[in-house]
Amino acid sequence: MTTVMICSRCDRAIAPGEPYEDQLRHSASGPGITLHRHGTCPDEVSGADRDPAALEAARYAAWCQLLTHLGACPECLSDGPWDCGTGRDLRRAWRVAERDAR
């Protein structure tokens, strides 16, 4: 049985032998959790491609799309918000845009 690690940044699988880093998140109410992240995510913007204004505009657009969807989707506002595939995709797009804008 093989254990699959999922990147906490891009939500994609980390392949065996692929460089990754561990992050320990402490918890006041329990033992904490270890998160795994790619060394460089497959969709990460390289330093040469960074245009701060364009990255900020993409971050703002992704945030607006997510909020618009959340305001109109009864599935995202229910007890199981992760059941909505569109909401998951928009959250992922926003996290990627947020990461790239930094």
Q: What is the pLDDT of residues 5-53, one digit of tens each?
A: 888 877 788 888 888 888 888 878 878 888 888 888 877 766 556 677 8
Give the separation between CA 51 and CA 15, rounded to whole angstroms.
Answer: 30
* Torsion sign, CA atoms 19, 90, 85, 78: positive
Q: Is 43 exposed, middle or buried (0-12, 13-18, 19+ CB in 10 A)?
A: middle
Please state, rounded to an integer, the average pLDDT across all residues of the chain: 81
Give the separation between CA 60 and CA 94, rounded to whole angstroms.
Answer: 9
Global pTM exceeds 0.85: no
DSSP state of 7: B
Give the separation between CA 53 and CA 34, rounded to whole angstroms.
Answer: 34
Q: What is the pLDDT of residue 28?
A: 82
Give the separation between CA 81 and CA 72, rounded to whole angstroms.
Answer: 13
